[in-house]
Amino acid sequence: MKKIILFFSFLFGLLPQIAMAQRTRLAAALMDDSVLLTSNFNGAKLTMFGAVQLAGDTNTDIVIIIRGPNRQAWITKKSKIMGLWIGQKRVYFDAAPTFFGVASTRPIDEIAPKDTQSLYGMDALSQLNPHQNALSKQELEDFKTAFVNVREKQKLYINAPKAVQFMENGLFRADIKLPDLTPPGLYTVKVMVMKNKRPVDTTLQSFEVTKVGFERFIFQFARDNNFIYGLFGLLLALGAGFLSARLFRRING
């Protein structure tokens, strides 16, 4: 009985106070809410500012996860058949993030164990969704790891352990590079405050990567009127060939 009274007094009296006192508050904002793919687009820098109201201990980390739109994808592995490199095996993914960036104050593996990372979607490997196939579990894991490696080489999957920097009074700043291959679509940015290997607060932001102007027009026209677009492409090729022949004949006399 004593225990129960103690419990309730704790719950109704003390807990909210303790919780209020120890609550970690997070606020964050992106500098830009859109990235424009123009004709001279060669990658972009994404900047984010934020503040954490730290309570109690200061052993707090920030993890920022930037996730591009999901798309279908595949990976092919070449193999040797009778001494010749002609074989290939392909694994399809029903959904794979086109972009996946993890920016943090420290290496992510020091901030949270692997299973926590998978649970909160903090590693690219757990985000791949392979199509049904007849591969063994180990083989499938190899394909997934290889896919992540290729995307990391293309800078589409990024692990930036020092990209988030604390300034003062709990203010932080993060700079993340988007490569020229950045696919268009809606990107979500999840900011997590990590304490003792667990997330204690989180906010969600988003930004959009869009083609604009001429690039947008061509992309949409090609998709909506593929017959006219194909014809136009062919006429462009033949016209250029014809014009150059005429031009050079004049030059040659």
Partner 1 sequence: MEIYLPIAEMAVNPWLMLGIGLIVGGVSGLFGIGGGFLLTPLLILSGIPAPIAVVSGASVSAAASMSSFIPQWEKRALDLRLGLTMVTAGVMGVTIGSIIFRWLSMLGFAELVVRISYVLLLGFIGSSLLSESIKTMKNAKNPKILKRSKSNIGYLLPLKMRFPRSKLYISILPPIIIGFVIGILSAIMGVGGGFLLVPALIYIVNMPPSLVVGTSIFQVLILASTTAFMQSTSNGGLDVVLSSILIIGAVVGAQIGLFFGRKLRGEQLRILLGLVIIALTLVLALELFLTPKDIYTTSSAGGGL
Residues that bind partner 1 (CB under 8 A): 37-43, 71-78, 81, 83-88, 96, 98, 146-147, 149-151, 154, 156, 180-184, 211, 214-216, 218-219, 222-223, 226-227, 229-234, 236-238, 240-246, 248-249, 252
Question: Closest separation between CB of residue 86 and partner 1, Å?
Answer: 5
Question: Closest separation between CB of residue 62 and partner 1, Å?
Answer: 27
Residue (4 or 245) nearer to partner 1, CB: 245
Question: Closest separation between CB of residue 159 and partner 1, Å?
Answer: 17
Question: Closest separation between CB of residue 69 and partner 1, Å?
Answer: 9
Question: Closest separation between CB of residue 161 and partner 1, Å?
Answer: 23
Residue (18 or 247) nearer to partner 1, CB: 247
Question: Closest separation between CB of residue 223 and partner 1, Å?
Answer: 7
Residue (77 or 162) nearer to partner 1, CB: 77
Distances (CA, A) of 156 to 34, 68, 148, 176, 178: 18, 9, 9, 11, 7
Residue (107 or 230) nearer to partner 1, CB: 230
Question: Closest separation between CB of residue 237 and partner 1, Å?
Answer: 4
Residue (7 or 232) nearer to partner 1, CB: 232
> In 3D, which of 73, 106, 96, 246 has the Cα closest to residue 172?
106
Distances (CA, A) of 242 to 135, 179, 229: 53, 38, 20
Residue (75 or 193) nearer to partner 1, CB: 75
Residue (143 or 172) nearer to partner 1, CB: 143
* HEC secondary structure over the chain: CHHHHHHHHHHHHHHHHHHHHHCCEEEEEECCCEEEECCCCCCEEEEEEEEEECCCCCCEEEEEEEECCEEEEEEEEEEEECCEEEEEEEEEEEEEECCEEEEECCCHHHHCCHHHHHHCCCCHHHHCEECCCCCCHHHHHHHHHHHHHHHHHCCCEEEECCCEEECCCCEEEEEEEECCCCCCEEEEEEEEEEECCEEEEEEEEEEEEEECHHHHHHHHHHHHCHHHHHHHHHHHHHHHHHHHHHHHHHHHC
